[in-house]
């Protein structure tokens, strides 16, 4: 059985309460997600943090005729991981959305993440983070397309529009992405590690 990875999608200041483009109910996500990251590390899983890392002139920004407020500009406080989350030595950091004209939704889009995971011996991934109907959705779809065994941790995702969650989960399930809780998924790591 290959290694597992926990992919934490875009849990950045600008996507959390008080940020430029906040998702719904993100503060309730942070504590349980931190515990799950720590549990994954203890079980020997690879922890991946994806981050929107946009140039100021990104085409998705409203001042540049795009749909979104300016958010997660590379090197700014809004692009930092939201405390209490923090990367540690050995974690993988993926910066995405750096192409001025690309959406940059998926952690796999132009980032080399798939190859990096394979080098580390990863065969199965769990997806968490923000926002369910955008970056979480596309990262999960691309993980499944790349033939990783992919699980969506449904208690550790947050949407911009919470009414979209059920539809997105159904779409992902139809594409071969399984659903699980964080506790259930962490339990499978302990079994495989034993």
* 135 given a catalytic annotation: yes
The residue annotated as part of the active site, out of 10, 14, 52, 142, is: 10
* 155 given a catalytic annotation: no
How far apart are the C-alpha atoms of 123 and 5, rounded to whole Å? 8
How far apart are the C-alpha atoms of 96 and 151, rounded to whole Å? 21
The residue annotated as part of the active site, out of 16, 51, 135, 142, is: 135
* 99 given a catalytic annotation: no
Q: Can you give the chain as a three-state secondary structure string?
A: CCEEEEEEECCEHHHCCCCCCCCCCCHHHHHHHHHHHHHHHHCCCEEEEEEECECCCCCCEHHHCCCECCCCECCCHHHCECCCCCCCCCCEEEEECCCCCCCCCCCCCCCCHHHHHHHCCEEEEEEEEECHHHHHHHHHHHHHHCCCEEEEEEEEEECCCHHHHHHHHHHHHHCCCEEECHHHHHHHHHHHHC
**Cα 87 to chain center, whole Å?**
13
The residue annotated as part of the active site, out of 14, 16, 72, 96, is: 96
Q: Which residue has the tokens 């930092």?
A: 80
Residues labelled as active-site residues: 10, 96, 135
């Amino acid at each position: 059985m290959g290694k597992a990875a926990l992919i934490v999608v875009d849990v950045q200041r600008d996507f959390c309460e008080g940020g430029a483009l906040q998702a719904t109910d993100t503060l309730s996500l942070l504590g349980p997600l931190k515990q799950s990251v720590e549990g994954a590390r203890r079980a020997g899983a690879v922890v991946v943090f994806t981050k929107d890392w946009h140039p100021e002139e990104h085409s998705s920004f409203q001042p540049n005729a795009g749909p979104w407020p300016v958010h997660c500009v590379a090197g700014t406080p809004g692009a930092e991981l939201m405390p209490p989350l923090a990367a540690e030595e050995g974690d993988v950091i993926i910066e995405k959305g750096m192409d001025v004209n690309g959406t940059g939704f998926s952690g796999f889009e132009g980032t080399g993440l798939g190859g990096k995971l394979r080098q580390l011996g990863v065969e199965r991934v769990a997806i968490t983070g923000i926002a369910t109907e955008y970056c979480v959705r596309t990262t999960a779809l691309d993980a499944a397309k790349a033939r990783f065994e992919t699980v969506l941790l449904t208690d550790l995702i947050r949407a911009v529009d919470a009414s979209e969650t059920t539809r997105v989960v159904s779409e992902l399930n139809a594409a071969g992405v399984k659903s699980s809780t964080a506790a259930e998924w962490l339990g499978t790591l302990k079994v495989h590690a034993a």
